[in-house]
Structure 1
Amino acid sequence: MKLRLKLPLLFLSIMILLFLMLLFYVRTFLLGQIFDETHEWQRENRRQESIMVEKVRQLYPDKEAVGVYLNDRAKEWGMEVQLLDPEDRTILFKTDTNVQAKLYSRYQLPIFIDDDVVWELAVEYPMKITQYNKHFFIGIVIAVICFILLAFIRLTIYVHHLIAKPLGDLNQYLDKINLYRYRPSSKLLSHYARRRDEIGELYRKVRRMEERLQMAQREQTEMVAAISHDLKTPMTVLYGYLEMMTVNQSMTEEQRQEYLQIMGNKLVSMKHLLDEFTAYTKQELQNSELPKKAVHAAEFVESLCREYELELEGLGYRLLWSHQLPSDAVAFINDQMIRRLFANLLSNSVIYGQNPGLNLFISARLHEGGLEMNVEDNGVGVPEGELAIIFQKFYRVEKSRHRQKGGTGLGLSIAKSIVEQHGGSIQAFSSIHGGLGIRFWLPLK
């Protein structure tokens, strides 16, 4: 669950828990105390009522004496008393006091003389809840403070384990990143990476970033090694022929010209290698800012295929192409880079197809909101286990054979870079025609 959902749910759960704990506290402690005090108050009232009824019985039938007594008791106890005739409920006497409380208790107390009801006392007691309110308020305040403190502690611990600790561990992990040595994913990294929130996503991205940085470092090292290796061989040949020409003074002019021709060819080969490395570096810089424009996909594919159809026919090869693109399909691409992409793919098939009767196949269609194209050949192909890695920089299926043909292992890597800069994807597969197949997808928008 994402943190943007987890944190609000956490606060909501804490508030619900706080309410339930407060309710439990009120129900268990405060209400019990209030009920006990109310019961005590009622018991005291019953005692006073018994005393008052007994005294009125003693003063019966002297209404004046009863009235004086009831007035005194009403003022003393803060209540209101009426003396009623039990037959017609007329008021015979009413005390001077007046109960102003919003809450009060009213009782009817019969006065028995020889088992006959001679009078009735209507008594009204004010509900004295000031003390109960005080206890209730103090208890609620204390409970709320305690529960808020507990909630704060719980929230602090939760946020620490949920956010602060993972970020601190991530900082320590970043300090230990080593681009020159691959290290397996630590238990700590794996633990956080399994989370389904933003922290887990951050850890997974950090791990992928580390892998990409290590791959970039390895590719840089491999690039230096490849340049060194590919230049070392012709330079060794040049050195050998120069030494032979210097030591062998009896060399004929014909031999000298032959050696110079060989040395010239090696220099041309070295220049070609350096040009490819320079072009690759320039290509990477250009891909960082790739201007695109709208082109009609069908027209672009047709012009591209016709251009290479003639060129390959002049080299003795055949290009068979077809497409299923509607005339109104528009793609936003960099025309020059896509042509460079096709040049790399087709030259890769021509150079390494190793088939005198080489045929190349191009097909195009709209697929999943984008332009999908396949470039295939009927050459020797690539082993199934190596299809996933042929786009790596300086990758060569058979390195010695590639060096003989002048390959640097950068063509497919450049193709992959161009496709990705367009927001697309590229993959290799074994063609039904027997050779290598390259499928790439470019978004239309």
Structure 2
Amino acid sequence: MFFSKKRYAYRFRNRALLIWFVMTLLPIVVLIIYVAIISGPEVFNLITDPQSVNERVWQLQKWNPDEFAFRYINSVILEDPDRLFIESTYKPIIGDSAIKPGDAIILVRKDDDVKAINNFKNKEGQKIVEGFNKVTGPILPEFGGYYITKNEELFNETGYIVARQFDFYFDDGGKGSVFFLAKVINIPSQIGKFVVNYFIALFVILIILMIGFFLYTADKLTKNFNKVVTIIDEVSKENFENRLDIMAEPLVHITDPLNAMIEKLAEAKAYRASIESDRSAFISNFTHDIKTPLTSIRVQIEALNDGVVKEPNQIVHYYGNIQKKLLEIDKMMNELQLFNELETDAMSFEFETVDLKFFFKDVIEELQFDPLYKTTHFDYIVNAQEPLFALIDPSKFKRVTTNILTNSTKYAKQEHLVFKIALKTTGHFIEIEMVDNGIGIPDAELENVFIQYYRIDPARNQQVAGSGLGLAICRSIISRHNGYIRAFKGEQGGFGIRIFIPKLGGTDEEYFIN
């Protein structure tokens, strides 16, 4: 499983890196499209004439026209300043544009003579000229006085400021200046211009950030995925101690469902272990209990076969004992079958509306004539005027009563057993209390008596015949009646059982069992 987990982690990481590669490729495609748009057909000269591309694109003509114009004029000044007053000099940077290149107005001054190389004949140009005419006093800084400007008034009237000033001397000694007046626009536009001018730098920074982000994300996703695989690996080994603790996207959405599944599996494992323990104890106890009468039968049959017993009275006695033990085994098998049918819901119930005060009256009268209970005194307490109707299966409910009585007969250790049955209403339930005058059981054991084959004293003598399922059967039957059963210690120290079943509101005596 370790190698499988490692393979899954590598596969997940590789997919994350593939996503990163695709996301990195997209900005490159954007860059290529951007270069193609601003370069036009010249982009294809990258292969046929790369030098021309270098001259025209990488020398700022396309990327930064303002800078290109400044450098061009500077080269003209170095070669022949007098050419600045010749209109054809500016064709490489002006072309057919009326106001541009870029958003700049370029002014050339010789002493007091000023010339604008831009064409202001269109509407936009005339509007700009009108703005300049509103400015009072000198507009341009003096020779060598770049820092003394009227930029605030100039900006308010025209939207332009003096961005650059380059001072020089003409060949005849005259003072010359070149001014770049930049159009100041709103901040978003400035940001847009900044992005255009510094696209390459921004693009490189973007790529670096994306690489860092995707490497971090891929590493984090890989670690979180390893956590998931580790948890699943532990679950496959039936180790349900650990829980997933991922709180980051996108795997956070599987944390709660996976932990809930692990909780259920842990509960199922504990339940299965409990069932296995109960099954093991069940088989062990049942085998032990059935082995006792079988051993007695085997010993007595061997004695008869070996001729050890010869007297007719003894032979009859031995056969009587064998028959008694066989009846005990038959009863144990019947109890086992009944318990299995109750636990698997295979047993059907036939419910009737019955007044329990008459039901228990009849049951007690029948038991009083049973030789098994000839030394038992029955004490029946009930309000004769109060109807106690309930929906029960009479035969199954009678089985509950006889099982509880049989349990008291076996373990009360009283020569004269007193078995009290009391009925009363408790809220929406009918409370049935059965208690004997026996030795009782410790309080700590009261909740355990309904567990099949549970022994309060593990060293209990095996002379007491029984299947060990009597009270467990009572609990199953009462549960099918939508009631519940509890054990308690009587006021005189005996063992008692309280049964609560839902009460009905009927009063018609046609439902009575007489």
What range is the shorter-chain TM-score in?
Answer: 0.5 to 0.7
Say which of 440, 446, 470 aligns to 1:411.
470
1:158 lines up with 2:158 in the alignment: no
SS of the equivalent of 2:141 reads strand
Identity among equivalent pairs (%)? 15
- State whether residues 317 and 359 of structure 1, in contact with CA within 8 Å, keep that contact through their aligned partners in structure 2: yes
For 2:359, the equivalent position in structure 1 comes to: 304
Q: 1:223 to 1:359 in 2, by over 3 A?
A: closer
Deviations 1:367-413 (A, max 9, x none): 7x876643222222234454444334445667999765644433223
Partner of 1:145: 214
Structure 2 residue corresponding to 1:377, chosen from 430, 433, 436: 436
Find the structure with the greater CA-based Rg.
2
Query: For residues 81 and 400 of structure 1, what CA distance do their matches in structure 2 show?
Result: 110
Q: 1:161 to 1:388 in 2, by over 3 A?
A: same
Distance 2:489 2:89 in 1: 117
For the 8 Å contact 2:106–2:116, the answer to whether it is kept is yes
Q: Which residue of 2 aligns with 1:17?
A: none
Question: Structure 1 residues 339, 359: CA separation in 2 closer, same or farther (over 3 Å shift)?
Answer: closer
- Tell which deviates more after alignment, 308-317 or 273-282: 308-317
Q: Which residue of 1 aligns with 2:338?
A: 283
Unaligned runs of 5+ in 1: 1-40, 85-90, 99-107, 171-187, 249-254
What does residue 140 of structure 2 align with?
Answer: 111
Q: Shift in Å at residue 336 of structure 1?
A: 3.5
Moved more, 209-218 or 130-139: 130-139
* RMSD over aligned Cα atoms: 5.0
1:275 and 1:421 mapped to 2: Cα distance?
25
Task: Return the match for 2:378 from 296, 318, 323.
Answer: 318
Deviation of 1:169 (Å): 2.2
Q: Answer yes or no: is the 8 Å Cα contact 2:355–2:387 preserved in 1.
A: no
TM-score, reference length from structure 1: 0.60
1:268 aligns with 2:323: yes
5 Å matches for 1:190-339?
197-240=260-303, 243-244=306-307, 248=310, 255-256=311-312, 258-287=313-342, 288=344, 289-292=346-349, 296=353, 299-314=354-369, 315=374, 317-322=377-382, 334-339=393-398
Q: Cα deviation per residue 1:322-358 (whole Å; 9 max; x = unaligned)?
A: 489x979865x65533332222112322444325151
**SS in structure 2 of the partner of residue 111 of structure 1:** coil
Residue of 415, 421, 427 corresponding to 1:361: 421
* Cα pair 1:81 1:124 within 8 Å, conserved: yes
CA distance in 2, matches of 1:93, 1:312: 130
Closer, same or farther in 2 for the Cα pair 1:264/1:364, shift >3 Å? farther
1:300 shift after superposition: 4.7
For 1:319 and 1:405, locate their aligned partners in 2 and report how far apart those are by CA, in whole Å: 25
2:85 counterpart of 1:65:
yes
Higher helix share: 1
C-alpha separation in 2, matches of 1:372 and 1:161 = 54
Match of residue 169 from structure 2: none
The amino acid that maps onto 2:103 is: E
Structure 2: gaps of 5 or more residues = 1-62, 108-114, 123-134, 155-161, 163-179, 185-192, 244-257, 504-514
The Cα shift of 1:189 comes to 6.5
Determine the C-alpha separation between the residues in 1 that align with 2:432 and 2:89: 113
Q: Which amino acid in structure 2 is aligned with residue 111 of structure 1?
A: L
SS state of the match for residue 214, structure 1?
helix
